[in-house]
Chain A
Amino acid sequence: MSQPPTGSRFVLEGVVVRHDGGGGAPINALDGVALAIEPGEAVALVGPSGSGKTTLLSLLNGSTRPSAGRILVDGSDLTELSPRQLRLVRASIGTVHQDLALVPNLRVSQNVLSGRLGRLGFLASVRTMLWPSAEDLRSAHALLERVGIPEKLFERTDRLSGGERQRVAIARALHQQPAALLADEPVSSVDPARARDAVGLLRELSRERGLTLVVSLHNLDLARSFFPRLIGLRGGRVAFDAPPAEVDEAAFEALYELADG
């Protein structure tokens, strides 16, 4: 019961996400994307800024509604779920946001324990925050140990460095006991050496827990060396979807070429 046996399976069918574009013509952040991500798979989303990586991730965890098309998580269509069902699906998907999005003036333990909010009622969650059980604390401590900062358990989160905060965000996602882990540009908040560590850690964690892993990355080298499958996005469309060996330099360069260049 504590660990789902396999990760989530994601299927996107003809997904379009249209933004109003601030008074101008509507912009399609995603424009007819169809793809499937199998349980336990590790996928890197690559592409320039504005290519739709973040939008795609926010579709997978049910925080953006598609303007058209369907998103299936383990067979259930996110656009057709009741609020309660949607909450359960969200609780099963851990996300490490680009800006980490931790509550800055809570203790690290509280931020980690907040990962379980999706499965708790209101009163139970308040109790967990104010008077965590020994079991909760053990679990939070073990997760922090796993990501390498156990001694920060009771520190205030805003006193931590960027790299440490990122690890707290990962621990929070893991405390969800998720079936999938999503990470949006996990390298943007840390220096290059730590970036490598962070991506490696995400990969290891998802492998040892059987989680589906989807990570958006600017850095092509990191994407190539850690992920068996790369999805290149450009202008809201899938430019390529292949193992790194089959994606050559020319394909990468085409991905980043300026549209009007």
Chain B
Amino acid sequence: MSAARDAEIGRLWRSRPRSRFARASVVAMLGLVAWAWIGGGLVPSELLSARRLANLERFLGEVTPYPLQGRTFDLGVALRWAGDLLVERGLAAAATTLAISVAAIVLAAIVGAVLGAPAARTIASPEPWLPDPRRPAAPVAFAWRGLVTGSRAVMIFLRAIPEYLWAFLFLAMLGPTAWPAVLALGLHNAGILGKLGAEAAENASRREPQALRGLGASRAQVVAIGLLPMTLPRLLLYFFYRWETCVREATVLGMLGIVSLGYWIQDARARNHYDEMVFLILLGAAIVLIGDVVSAVARRVVRRAS
């Protein structure tokens, strides 16, 4: 009895459906990992040579706030040093960083909406949501397909160039103001928000738009009165998530010479003031942390309201 069952199980196992693709990708992945470790030049001994350790020790010494170096620790002195730094450039730079991130994400949302809507196949088709009673003329169908492909291509291009390189480009064109950072973050994130928005539109339930379309609503009406309210919570989640990233990136972009926090971090490093540099890096981390918390709270509120 048991032998017969085992034979049957063996037969079922041999005829089980299996995926060559899944197997091949596991093998390929293991191969890639092995290559990266061995062939990619990541030799662990480079990380901890004696010279490097000495370097590290000196660095740690210089990180101590300047007025405190070679003296016993005094909280009052340390606080005064930190306060001076904050007033001198920390706060202004933090405000710039924040302003850049807000301007960038609003720009990204507007451009993303313009590009994302025609990239959703559910919206951009000759007869959206419902079957077309007539066959659309070939040029019409072609034009709609072109719109989808075109807007997607633009968004892919925007995403393909990293924020850092966009900023580099704009910096060359516009000079060292905050605008290169705003445009760089705005365009890159427009590509991301547009894609996420288009996917939200495509994955949304089709029943409600179909019902509205079925009672005679126009394409724009269905989008504004059906699709937008349905997907708004999701879009807002993406918006705040990307804003959070913008805060972080706005800090980093300062290293290109835009007067956000990153600029002063770079500046302190150039003058070998490692104590200042570490202080400003921590200030940056604090801003990012605050951005994270605000974004998390906003997303929580949105999720609860929806």
Which residues of A does B touch, CB under 8 Å? 107, 134, 137-138, 141-142, 150-151, 153-156, 159
> Is residue B8 within 8 Å, beta carbon to beta carbon, of the partner chain?
yes
Docked complex Cα distance between A153 and B8 (Å):
10
**3 closest A-B pairs by CB:** A154-B16, A153-B12, A137-B9
| Chain A, Cβ-Cβ closest to B18 | A154
Q: State which of A153, A156, A159 has its C-beta within 8 Å of the C-beta of B9.
A: A153
A141 touches B8 (CB 8 A): yes
What residues of A have a CB within 8 angstroms of the CB of B6 in the complex?
134, 138
What residues of A have a CB within 8 angstroms of the CB of B21 in the complex?
none
What residues of B have a CB within 8 angstroms of the CB of A155 in the complex?
16-17
Q: State which of B5, B13, B16, B17 has its C-beta within 8 Å of the C-beta of A142.
A: B5
What residues of B have a CB within 8 angstroms of the CB of A154 in the complex?
12-13, 15-17
Docked complex Cα distance between A153 and B6 (Å):
12
Most chain B CB atoms below 10 A, which of A107, A141, A159: A141
What residues of A have a CB within 8 angstroms of the CB of B12 in the complex?
141, 151, 153-154
> Is residue B2 within 8 Å, beta carbon to beta carbon, of the partner chain?
yes
A138 touches B2 (CB 8 A): yes
What residues of A have a CB within 8 angstroms of the CB of B16 in the complex?
107, 154-155
B9 touches A138 (CB 8 A): yes
| Chain B, Cβ-Cβ closest to A141 | B9
Which residues of B does A touch, CB under 8 Å? 2, 5-6, 8-9, 12-13, 15-17
**For chain B, what secondary structure do more than half of its interface residues adopt (helix, strand, loop), or is it mixed?**
helix
New A-B contacts (4) at CB < 8 Å, excluding given A137-B9, A153-B13, A154-B12 = A134-B6, A138-B9, A155-B16, A156-B17
Would you give 9 A-B contacts (Cβ < 8 Å), ordered by A?
A134-B9, A137-B9, A138-B5, A138-B6, A138-B9, A141-B5, A151-B12, A154-B16, A159-B17
Docked complex Cα distance between A138 and B2 (Å):
8
Docked complex Cα distance between A14 and B12 (Å):
51
Distance from B7 Cβ to chain A, minimum over Cβ atoms (Å): 11
Distance from B94 Cβ to chain A, minimum over Cβ atoms (Å): 37
| Chain A, Cβ-Cβ closest to B19 | A156
What residues of B have a CB within 8 angstroms of the CB of A151 in the complex?
12
Docked complex Cα distance between A141 and B7 (Å):
11
Docked complex Cα distance between A154 and B12 (Å):
7
| Chain A, Cβ-Cβ closest to B14 | A154
| Chain A, Cβ-Cβ closest to B15 | A154
Q: State which of A150, A156, A159 has its C-beta within 8 Å of the C-beta of B8.
A: A150
What residues of B have a CB within 8 angstroms of the CB of A141 in the complex?
5, 8-9, 12
Docked complex Cα distance between A141 and B16 (Å):
14
Most chain A CB atoms below 10 A, which of B5, B12, B16: B12
| Chain B, Cβ-Cβ closest to A138 | B5
Distance from B149 Cβ to chain A, minimum over Cβ atoms (Å): 31
What residues of A have a CB within 8 angstroms of the CB of B5 in the complex?
138, 141-142
What residues of B have a CB within 8 angstroms of the CB of A153 in the complex?
9, 12-13
What residues of B have a CB within 8 angstroms of the CB of A137 in the complex?
9
What residues of A have a CB within 8 angstroms of the CB of B9 in the complex?
134, 137-138, 141, 153
| Chain A, Cβ-Cβ closest to B305 | A23
Distance from B225 Cβ to chain A, minimum over Cβ atoms (Å): 23
Distance from A159 Cβ to chain B, minimum over Cβ atoms (Å): 8
What residues of A have a CB within 8 angstroms of the CB of B2 in the complex?
138
Distance from A139 Cβ to chain B, minimum over Cβ atoms (Å): 10
What residues of A have a CB within 8 angstroms of the CB of B13 in the complex?
153-154
What residues of A have a CB within 8 angstroms of the CB of B17 in the complex?
154-156, 159
Distance from A154 Cβ to chain B, minimum over Cβ atoms (Å): 4
Distance from A121 Cβ to chain B, minimum over Cβ atoms (Å): 25
Distance from B301 Cβ to chain A, minimum over Cβ atoms (Å): 13
